[in-house]
Chains A and B, each alone.
Chain A
Amino acid sequence: MKRELTCVACPLGCSITVEYEGTEVISVTGNNCKRGDAYARTEIVNPTRNIASTVKVVGGVHPVVPVKTSAPIPKTMIFDCMKEINAACVNAPVAIGQVIIPNVLNTGVDIVATNID
């Protein structure tokens, strides 16, 4: 089987062709870097994404502070992860990189703050 992908690993957005059978990747072509190769392989087997959102802050300058996943999570879990993020709340002060939700949904990935407040 053959699939054409647009790499999302970096803004270049390379067009990648992946040949695979079932979950076994036979070849990856069209990528310009290792990240592209890795992206293509994961995309066939278990696509993952980073997400960014905000979490409610109490006592801060802004009502919300931006957060992101510390590493990509399975694409299928995005909306469940959003539920966790929406339910979370943090007290000011918040530091960049501060873990807001550790090990979200047992993925091994943390939800971390990406700005101060």
Chain B
Amino acid sequence: MMNYDLVVVGGGPAGMAAALKAKECGVESIIILERAETLGGILEQCIHSGFGLTYFKEELSGPEYAARFIDMVEKTDIAVKTDTMVLDIDDNNLVTAVNKKDGLLKIQAKAIVLAMGCRERPRGALEIAGSRCSGIMTAGTAQKYVNLDGYMPGKKVVILGSGDIGLIMARRMTLEGAEVKVVCELMPFSGGLNRNIVQCLNDYNIPLRLSTTVVECHGKDRLEGVTSAQVDEHLQPIESTKEYIECDTLMLSVGLIPENELTKNVGIAIDRITNGAVVDEMRQTDHKGVFAAGNVLHVHDLVDYVTMESQLAGQGAAEYILNGEKETVYVNSTTGNGVRYLVPQRVNIKNGNDVKLYFRVGKIFKNAKVVLECDGKVISSKKKVKLAPGEMENVVIPADVLAGMNENSTIVVRVEE
């Protein structure tokens, strides 16, 4: 058995940022366990630009953003095991992992940061009838084939779902010579960033059909076409709007799900909306010494925010390792009108610092206000020209407000139209 102060599960942007921050805070022995062959996580296949504007103040591609952290990790004595899969975490933070070289690994950790990222929602989770032929894949799988393996996964493409990966892949496939026929989106709004609609779809005259879904796949061996249909206000397909679209590939970009199988096995409480752990402001779960950060906690829109959140988790884990448990008085954060979820779900009012609450709205709001209310008093009210479900927002609880709270206090974030 090995002993490490901190075990970081996942070597993507979240895991690397958490490990580096913990190191900076003085944690001596840290190990990152990564299931892929290299550090970097999903960024390795995200070759488009748009990463790092907030954190590095420059526009980087995914691999470039990852490389900066990989370089930093390599300059420290943080241990890294790639091609290593974590199988289990037990009640006492004993981590079981496996790889080809070491076989089964047992690592006793003082603290753990969960940074496993997320996965894409597959076809089975949707109700698309028809054939189970080849040519139906998630946008992320297609992205790997094109960007890393160098093969075309399709020539005539329909994309279902206008999440950012779907939009990005519409442009990537077009640049590589495929014909992207249409992007269909079930909801009346896109789940992706506005700028991606402009530069990935509009620039290439790819139509975006809102309130439209794919109801059936056709083709015996390879996909030959799909039937699309508009949906009513209950998201049910409207029979009269059915339309056959010839294509050899259907790419799905219909949502991301945090990968929390390990988390659930430990018995950590999961938020029904985020599908991630319930955490406090340092991203500590309800299991002592286990922290979570990045897309495993809630799906982020920008990697920059993943980095910043993970640094908090790294710092939290470091404090836990170096100083032991802190005095805690928790107050839950509550979602008000228009707010789908809040992270962190609970705040230690003894924290002593400002606490940033991240959230997403449930629909598009124009010229609305984001209101933070503590103990029934409006603490801040910030005007927003636009709030969209595709974009993560945040609001800060000032340290002095927290200091004046007690265990019966309330924290509410809501949108005022």
Which listed residue (B47, B63, B199, B301) contacts A8, Cβ 8 A? B199
A87 interface hit (Cβ, 8 Å):
no
Could you tell me the distance between the alpha carbons of A9 and B50 in the complex, rounded to whole angstroms? 9
In the complex, are the beta carbons of B63 and A15 less than 8 A apart?
A: no
Q: How many cross-chain pairs have Cβ atoms below 8 Å apart between A and B?
A: 80
Of B15-23, B91-99, B142-150, B256-264, the one touching chain A: B142-150
Complex formed: what's the CA distance from A5 to B48 in Å?
A: 21
B residues near A, CB below 8 A?
A: 44, 47-50, 53, 59-61, 63-64, 67, 146-150, 172, 175-176, 193-195, 197-199, 203, 301-302, 385-386, 391
Q: Closest approach, in angstroms, between the C-beta of A32 and any C-beta of chain B? A: 9
Rounded to whole angstroms, the CA-CA distance of A49 and B47 in the bound complex is 15
Within 8 Å of chain B (Cβ to Cβ): is A115?
yes
A98 at the interface (CB under 8 A from B): no
Q: Check if B175 sits within 8 Å of A8, measured CB to CB.
A: no
- Contact A53:B176 (CB < 8 A) given known A15-B386, A96-B64: yes
A-B contact pairs, 29 of them (CB 8 A): A5-B198, A6-B194, A10-B53, A10-B59, A11-B195, A11-B301, A11-B302, A12-B195, A13-B195, A52-B47, A52-B48, A53-B176, A54-B47, A54-B147, A54-B150, A56-B150, A62-B150, A63-B150, A66-B47, A66-B63, A68-B47, A68-B49, A96-B63, A96-B64, A96-B67, A114-B60, A115-B44, A115-B63, A115-B64
Q: What is the CA–CA distance of A10 and B67 in the complex, to the nearest angstrom? A: 21
Q: A13 vs B202: C-alpha distance in the bound complex, in angstroms?
A: 14
On chain A, the residues within 8 Å of B172 by CB distance are: 52-53
- Distance from B331 Cβ to chain A, minimum over Cβ atoms (Å): 31
B195 lies within 8 A of A7 (CB): yes
Please give the number of chain A residues whose Cβ is less than 8 angstroms from any Cβ of chain B in the complex.
29
Most chain B Cβ neighbours within 10 Å, of A5, A52, A54, A64: A52
| A13 adjacent to B193 (CB under 8 Å) | yes
Tell whether A13 pairs with B67 under 8 Å between CB atoms, given A49-B203, A64-B150: no
CB distance from B50 to the nearest CB of A (A): 6
Q: How far is the CB of A70 from chain B (nearest CB, A)?
A: 11
Further contacts, 14 of them, CB under 8 A, given A53-B175, A62-B150, A66-B61 = A8-B199, A9-B195, A10-B53, A10-B59, A11-B53, A11-B302, A12-B195, A15-B386, A51-B175, A53-B176, A64-B147, A75-B203, A96-B67, A115-B47
Shortest distance in angstroms between B128's beta carbon and chain A's nearest beta carbon?
Answer: 30
Residues of A within 8 A of B197 (CB): 6
